[in-house]
Structure 1
Amino acid sequence: MRAELWRHRDFLKLWGGQTLAMFGTAVGRTALPLVAVVMLNASATQMGFMNALSQLPFLLFLFAGVWVDRVRRRYAMVWTDIGRFVLLALVPSLYAVGWLRIEALYVIVFCTGVLGVMFEIAYHAYLPTLTGRELVAEGNQKLELSRSAAGLLGPAATGVAISAVASAMVLVVSAATHLISAAMLLLIRKPDTMPSATHTDGVLRAIREGLHWVVRHPVLRTIASASAIFYGFTSALQTLYVLYLIRVLNVPPGWVAAIFAAAGPGALAGSWLSVRLMRKVGVGTAVMWAVGCANGILLLIPAASLVSPLWLVVALLVTSQFGYGLSTQVGTIIQTTLRQLLTPDEMQGRVVATLRALSMATVPVGALAAGVLADAIGIQPLVWIGSIGLLGSFVIYVFSPIPRMRAMPTEEEAAAMAPEMRAHA
């Protein structure tokens, strides 16, 4: 199977272009805030507003899912890549002529985020069509391996480049990667057809169909509800993490970045391990292993407050970051493949968008609650509560159909699990 995908020329074009674009995205994500701070002397309020604008496009997931289910997905990816090329290229262009302003950066950040959301949903919906059911798991593995590598190398490369040239000019690289990605997508020979059942119903009805499918599907409902708990409590931990390290554990500020960085190699290892583990122990066991480890290993964070000396504290924190990166990547790849194989082609966009929207809805709630409650009862108790609360997502998986799944579902098995609405949608 591995050899077959390595010979899949169309997939290799997608993979090559996406590897470059993921690297460019990581560079842009690092460079844009630096442009605002270093070159435009942005205030804390302006940085907060820009960060909010970068997150705002995630509210469009449900609408983007409807759009993706009504267009040719490869061409949607091409146009969103071209759009991001134009937007990112505007930053060094405006800088070169002396017209770069913080207001322009606001527009660029927001519009780039909108196109990024559209691209992400289209790419997840398109992959099963390109590779076929038999190879989609390995396709996800290779693409996530590239994403992990880009997340690890992109910020470091940005730091090196900015030391040599102005931060705005670094975005030339980021912009160019999206243009190359668009060109690689255009070279794919497999015909890009419309989704098998393109609906002309209203947008809200189409969104409702996606919600109905996820909520009534036994496997997708499990993934959505468990992910909502996971992301909510993870958001709470992330909100308090730096405060906890510095003010409770007395970790030197210079060591914090190194602790965070340990998740990167873990994610690379998880990407490499995911499909191998799934083939070795089965789909259900691999998912349970990944979810259990991702939840359990974060208990090392509050446990670090119970030990000394400092080197042991840091060792526990680094282990938790590495293990978290590894296990979440294994779970992400397997569950992404499950979702793709359980969803009919005409609903791929809406289902991935619905899962993302339901999963991410708890993120701002967790962040806000953690901040308010930590001021009331203290940082350390909240870190314990957040770490233990994460185990709730594992409990949901235990009582779901997923632990009993030995292999990825066939088309017949997927049809048997489909909600009733599929017959009349």
Structure 2
Amino acid sequence: MAGPYARAVTQPPDFPQTAEATAPPLALHRDANFRRFWFGEAISQFGIEVGVLALPVIAVTLLDATESQVGYLNAAAFAAFLFVGLPAGAWVDRWNKRSTMIRANALRFAATLAVPALWFAGVLAMWQLYVLAALIGIGRVFFDVCYQSYIPFLVRPSQVSDANSKLESTAQIARMGGPALGGLLLKFISAPVLMIIDAVGYLASILALRGVNDDEQPHDRAQQTRLVADIREGLAFVAQHRIIRAITMCTGISNFFGTMLMTLVSIYVLRLLDFSPAVLGFIVGAGAVGGLLGAVSARHIGEYVGEGRTIPLAALLIAPAMALVPTASYLPERWMQIGLLVVSEALFGFGVIVYNVIQVSMRQRACPKRLLGRMNASIRFFVWGVMPLGALAGGWLGEAIGVVATLWIAVAGQALAALPVIASPLRSMREFPDPPAD
């Protein structure tokens, strides 16, 4: 589904059986090493979410971007998932993850600071935003792939779930408050200045990572010549597994049409409905509230309804939630429009998170451990690689036939996304199958 909610899984390392290693593990909130990582990522997430509105606001309000230009901007931001997303997983397995995350955030830090620098120099243009958005996207691909695989090297195997829970809870809180605060700040500062706060988030992550210790061992260069074969094996597993193939098709279609809608939301809210950036930030923050509720309730829903059945049911919720976005343009009162958009974002966030929590668990249980990384990288290539195409389609159609008409096309396409999982064994499955032996 639209949004980077999936978490890849790697096999935890074997910790040396010293007296220290066999001692009861220190609680994570008392572990200075984990706290340093957690605190740095919390600041980073919040800074990034505060600045999430900056680029679209700069494009729409300062550079008067057209619908197609906003489409090009979003396509540039997601292009890296299409062009380097597939080999990134295999590359990251061969590199030191902490060092790669530091370099990825250094790239994002420099590209983000370049935006206000060019604006205050009086030379910022849309083509420069395209280039900088693409560079930020490349950094995001490598950081995300490393981040998803790093926790087992940072904490003990028994603490991985607790660590992920703490980090994801912090991320959801940042997604709730960050966009709303960013929209409020735009009443007092310009969008290019807001990009500086975004850059501070990347800097905080760099500084925290430099002080973190982990148990990742140097990689054997003799095993680094099978890149193409490793990628092929991961792709083959996804293509041949009926349930995972259906989930990949559903998520890919959903992301394509979800990105079409997302591309035009800034123009729709800021220009067509004539709301302020503060209102846009408040609306976006509502999605994180729904996401947090989805994260808390997903396991209980799966237990009550059945794990397999929950996936198509959650997929079916997304299209009605998206339909509320263009419906808002027909309402007579502005408070009604805001209320409907808030409900839309909250329902969308809830459905996406429930879907992702359950389907990621299914993938983890159905895939042999030795293929987990490549399976996740293969799926990410397909389901994120379609997003730049969706952004281009949204921008072109928005300019050709109008924003509201394009939003309705995105809703109709989203309704089709649930068909692959409805037609799969998931619709009658209560519990997920165990993986085949490695």
TM-score bucket (shorter structure): 0.7 to 0.9
Aligned to 1:390: 414
Aligned to 1:16: 39
2: CA distance, partners of 1:246 / 1:30:
11
Matches within 5 A, 1:370-409: 386-402=410-426
Matching of residue 271 in structure 1 with residue 295 in structure 2? yes
1: CA distance, partners of 2:405 / 2:341:
17
Aligned to 1:327: 351
Q: CA deviation at 1:118?
A: 0.5
2: CA distance, partners of 1:158 / 1:311:
21
Give the structure-2-normalised TM-score.
Answer: 0.71
Aligned to 1:26: 49
Aligned to 1:201: 225
Alpha-carbon distance change, 89 to 348 in structure 1, aligned in 2, over 3 angstroms: farther
Deviations 1:294-328 (A, max 9, x none): 34444556777999888767655543332111121
In terms of mean alpha carbon deviation, does 122-131 or 233-242 score higher?
A: 233-242
Q: CA deviation at 1:332?
A: 2.1
2: CA distance, partners of 1:90 / 1:385:
36
Aligned to 1:58: 81
1: CA distance, partners of 2:116 / 2:391:
34
Mapped contact 1:121–1:352 kept (Cα < 8 A): no
Give the structure-1-normalised TM-score.
Answer: 0.73
Alpha-carbon distance change, 235 to 113 in structure 1, aligned in 2, over 3 angstroms: closer
Q: CA deviation at 1:230?
A: 1.6
Q: Gaps spanning 5+ residues in structure 2: where?
A: 1-25
Q: Gaps spanning 5+ residues in structure 1: where?
A: 417-422
2: CA distance, partners of 1:342 / 1:72:
28
Query: Among residues 175, 179, 197, which one is paired with 1:155 in the alignment?
Result: 179
Aligned to 1:414: 435
Q: CA deviation at 1:253?
A: 2.9
User: Identity percentage over the alignment?
Assistant: 30
Matches within 5 A, 1:44-55: 44=65, 51-55=74-78
In terms of mean alpha carbon deviation, does 19-28 or 306-315 score higher?
A: 306-315
2: CA distance, partners of 1:28 / 1:334:
30
Matches within 5 A, 1:66-215: 66-89=90-113, 108-127=132-151, 130=154, 139-161=163-185, 168-193=192-217, 199-201=223-225, 203-215=227-239
Relative contact order, higher structure (CA 8 A, sep 6+): 2
2: CA distance, partners of 1:161 / 1:288:
39
Deviations 1:321-371 (A, max 9, x none): 321111212222333344455555665543333212211344455556667
Q: CA deviation at 1:90?
A: 5.5
1: CA distance, partners of 2:161 / 2:209:
20
Mapped contact 1:92–1:171 kept (Cα < 8 A): yes
Deviations 1:251-270 (A, max 9, x none): 84338836555323222322
1: CA distance, partners of 2:287 / 2:59:
27
Deviations 1:231-270 (A, max 9, x none): 23334444676888899xxx84338836555323222322
- Between Structure 1 and Structure 2, the one with more helix by share is 1
Mapped contact 2:85–2:385 kept (Cα < 8 A): no
1: CA distance, partners of 2:60 / 2:310:
44
Q: RMSD of aligned C-alpha atoms?
A: 4.7
Query: Among residues 354, 357, 375, which one is paired with 1:351 in the alignment?
Result: 375
2: CA distance, partners of 1:85 / 1:292:
38
Mapped contact 1:81–1:119 kept (Cα < 8 A): yes
Deviations 1:146-182 (A, max 9, x none): 3333334333433455555665554443333323323
SS of match in other structure, 1:390: helix
Mapped contact 2:302–2:310 kept (Cα < 8 A): yes
Aligned residues: 406
Deviations 1:271-316 (A, max 9, x none): 3333454466553344344323234444556777999888767655
User: Which letter maps to 1:22?
Assistant: Q
User: Which letter maps to 2:296?
Assistant: W
Alpha-carbon distance change, 101 to 296 in structure 1, aligned in 2, over 3 angstroms: closer
Q: CA deviation at 1:119?
A: 0.5
Deviations 1:91-115 (A, max 9, x none): 667889x697658766544322211
Aligned to 1:253: 274
In terms of mean alpha carbon deviation, does 197-206 or 53-62 score higher?
A: 197-206
Mapped contact 1:136–1:337 kept (Cα < 8 A): no
User: Which letter maps to 1:30?
Assistant: L
2: CA distance, partners of 1:10 / 1:288:
40
SS of match in other structure, 1:254: coil
Alpha-carbon distance change, 243 to 157 in structure 1, aligned in 2, over 3 angstroms: closer
